[in-house]
Structure 1
Amino acid sequence: MDTEPAVILVVDDLAQNRKLMDAILSPRGYVLLEASSGEEALGLLAERTPDLILLDVLMPGIDGYETCRRIRATPATAFLPVVMVTASGSAEKVRATEAGADDFINKPLDQAELLARVRSLVRVKRYQDTVIAQAAELAAWNRELESRVSAQVERLDRFGRLRRFLSPQITRLILDTGDESFLTSHRREIIAVYCDLRGFTSFAETSDPEEVMSVLGEYHQALGDLVFLYEGTLEHFAGDGLLVFFNDPVPCPDAPARAVRMAVDMRTSVTRLAEGWRRHDYELGFGVGIARGFATLGRIGFEGRYDYAAIGTVTNLSARLSSYATAGQILVTQRVLAGADGVAVSRPVGSLPLRGFSKPVIAHEIVGLIESTVVP
């Protein structure tokens, strides 16, 4: 309960009447403000809002009726309790009601009646203040809630855009920092991993679309989980072809080793899937190519449809290695193998004449992983 003393403004042109009000109300804990005219009362109200006004009707200048009308016309005091003090009859009370008075006290003053009306209207004013304060607090909460919801919607929208090509871990990191500078075009060395299915073209030509979609769904799910597990950046799915790269947008000091481990796990996963596909007479194999080199990276596309892409010879080289690989092969360049030293068991496959490259490319096949290597 509010323990602040109630403030009462007494408006009367006669000093003895104001002193009488003070003698009755001050001992009861009320704080009194005094005004000797309607003009003075309106001036005080512009500076401080009391809990109640005791307003004499007959005053020189602006009388009580006009003062009350002006109080009601001012938004800050429109609902302020006003008690008109009058010695007149019922006709004057009607005028006071029309002017906006809440209650009346007759002269000569009855002390008990005055105290009862003051207590009642002060209690109403305090309830009104509570409602107004609660409404303001609720409005503030609503604004904060709207702001939080708007921020969360924006966060979810950004998360939806970023998670299309980034792992959940990296997406959360970018959302937490708010840094999207990586989306602008930049140059960086990356490890590009390209993989696709051997025999997919003939399979798609001779199978029902539903069968093709079922195979692709299983294939994409298995590979997508591993891309996220190893925190690779997914550039795109294109049918059975998939391009992932490491060391961008987040630097990855073990990028070659991470790419090789992911490729080996991908091969294992697709091998399991292929066993089920063979039961349906689908002969599909899996090949991977991994290359290392510089690329230009950044956001490409148009409003409403953006991708995060790597442009450069390194992505083409990984795709060509993948095309050259037989079912179950993972082919890597010399630079990738050097970066993954101590991670994988490999064997040389010699210089490969790859389409689009003027010189043969020295390649190695990843046979398996050294047992001491672990998943990130």
Structure 2
Amino acid sequence: MTSTILVVDDEPDLEALVLQKFRRQIREGLVSFMFAHDGVEALQSIELNPHVDLVVSDINMPRMDGLSLLQKLQEAEDKKSTIIVSAYGDMSNIRTAMNRGAFDFLTKPIDFADLETTIQKTIRHVETLREARRRQLEAERAHASLSRYFSPEIAKRLAAASGESDGMEVQWRDVATIFTDITGFTTLVESAAPETLGELLNAYVGGMTDIVFQHEGTVAKIIGDAIQVLFNAPGDQPDFATRAVACAHDLDIWAEGFRQRWKDKGVNFGTTRIGVHAGPALVGNFGGSRFFDYTAYGDTINTAARLEAANKHLGTRICVSASVAKGAANFQGRPVGDLMLRGRSEPLRAFEPLPPARFETPLTTQYSEAFAKLEAGDIAAMPAFAALVGMHADDALAGFHLKRLLNGAKGVRMQLE
């Protein structure tokens, strides 16, 4: 590749001398030269020939001197590497030039062997910068493209991988995972017009993933209306449980607003149910050599899915495990009970997380008192829940416990089908 050098000097004989001294390099296509007689002419030349690679400039010239030209070049978006030529011993100008961003300097009279060496060194510097810029642009383009399909953290790692390890190898990690699903979605698929369903589902998934990305979560899977989210993977997030709870609340708020907007249009869009659990999981790219499938497997993932399904029985929209409640900072919620989930041999304490506006109400205190009686086996639990439902008929979880008690159940351990 030919390097283009702009020489800026008002000496009339310099152009012929440079072309003579560099005739071999010019003939071999290594360099080409352009010439200007002052800073103004140099800037005009660069504007017409933006491919100029470097500038060799004298200091003392009419109209615009070399130091002023150097300043203009450094202010430009495409900064040109510049070699300043100064009178021998003129350290003041040389210091000023280096402070203004000159790459190197030479003294007059010019030693052409020194000039050739300095030019070669500068060209190598220019090529290094150009290669770095090229890689950065490629990474930015790759990231922009990948961001259309992957969570930002995954897109960033894939764009920066450059064939090396991208941190996506299968490994055990402690994660928090969220599962979401929509009630009655199968019925909606069978009844809605294709164009309506397409618009509906794309808008829903787009809005939900936007919420996840705001909390810096990773969307591991989207299967129809169901979404699986990971925290603390692939990057480290020590507050992953806190993030998961906050994300679940925001997903719930957004999904309820979405459901209401479509209800106003005459479309019966179901409630979004959310399950959250934390623990170890096998995480990484499970897509083999031809596909990319960054996801997670293990009991932690299965449990989150079971908690999502448990909402259907409990009447809740969000159900989180004790590991999430304990791991989240300032967790606010109320206990659901000890759930015997399918696939687990031990009961799992579950909670319904509440936003501050709901948590800090007499209703939460009443529920906690009734639940404490239920957990203690106190026969006063039934009237306590009955009183609660009498005052708050829309409290589905309280109604769930009252129904259990009326059917002869005791305690807080429950088998969910």
Tell me if TM exceeds 0.5: yes
Contact map agreement 1:174 1:180 (CA 8 A) in 2: no
Distance 1:360 1:201, change over 3 A: farther
**What does residue 308 of structure 1 align with?**
294
Higher RCO, 1 vs 2 (CA within 8 Å, ≥6 residues apart): 1
**What does residue 304 of structure 2 align with?**
318
**What does residue 299 of structure 1 align with?**
285
2:284 paired with 1:276: no
**C-alpha separation in 2, matches of 1:356 and 1:247:** 25
Contact map agreement 1:264 1:369 (CA 8 A) in 2: no
Larger Rg: 1
- Report the Cα offset of residue 234 of structure 1: 1.0
Distance 1:5 1:296, change over 3 A: same
2:174 maps to which of 163, 185, 189: 189
Distance 1:156 1:49, change over 3 A: closer
2:339 maps to which of 327, 352, 360: 352
2:322 maps to which of 334, 359, 374: 334
2:369 paired with 1:361: no
**C-alpha separation in 1, matches of 2:279 and 2:230:** 11
Contact map agreement 2:220 2:230 (CA 8 A) in 1: yes
Helix, strand or coil for the counterpart of 1:277?
A: helix
2:272 paired with 1:264: no
Distance 1:78 1:358, change over 3 A: closer
2:224 maps to which of 232, 239, 242: 239
Contact map agreement 2:218 2:233 (CA 8 A) in 1: yes
Equivalent residues in 2 for 1:51-200, closer than 5 Å: 130=34, 137=52, 148-149=133-134, 151-161=136-146, 164-167=149-152, 171=155, 181-200=166-185
Contact map agreement 1:167 1:227 (CA 8 A) in 2: no
**C-alpha separation in 2, matches of 1:314 and 1:215:** 30
**C-alpha separation in 1, matches of 2:26 and 2:328:** 79
Helix, strand or coil for the counterpart of 1:301?
A: coil
Contact map agreement 1:216 1:240 (CA 8 A) in 2: yes
- Report the Cα offset of residue 209 of structure 1: 2.0
- Report the Cα offset of residue 6 of structure 1: 6.9
Which sections of structure 1, spanning at least 5 residues, go unmatched?
A: 9-30, 32-47, 52-73, 80-127
- Report the Cα offset of residue 243 of structure 1: 0.6
**C-alpha separation in 2, matches of 1:180 and 1:349:** 43
Superposition CA RMSD, Å? 4.1
**Residue deviations 1:82-108, cap 9 Å, x none?**
xxxxxxxxxxxxxxxxxxxxxxxxxxx
Q: Percent identity?
A: 25
- Report the Cα offset of residue 162 of structure 1: 6.1
2:331 paired with 1:343: yes
The letter for the 1-side match of 2:259 is A
**What does residue 95 of structure 1 align with?**
none
Which is further off, 141-150 or 282-291? 141-150
**C-alpha separation in 1, matches of 2:14 and 2:329:** 83
Which is further off, 304-313 or 351-360? 351-360
**C-alpha separation in 1, matches of 2:188 and 2:337:** 31
Helix, strand or coil for the counterpart of 2:342?
A: coil
Which is further off, 283-292 or 145-154? 145-154
**What does residue 238 of structure 2 align with?**
253
**Residue deviations 1:278-301, cap 9 Å, x none?**
231414111110011101211221
**What does residue 378 of structure 2 align with?**
none
**C-alpha separation in 2, matches of 1:197 and 1:239:** 10
Contact map agreement 2:276 2:319 (CA 8 A) in 1: yes
Q: TM-score of the superposition, structure 2-length normalised?
A: 0.53
**What does residue 288 of structure 1 align with?**
274
Q: TM-score of the superposition, structure 1-length normalised?
A: 0.58
**C-alpha separation in 2, matches of 1:150 and 1:354:** 50
Distance 1:165 1:180, change over 3 A: farther
How many residue pairs end up in the alignment?
263
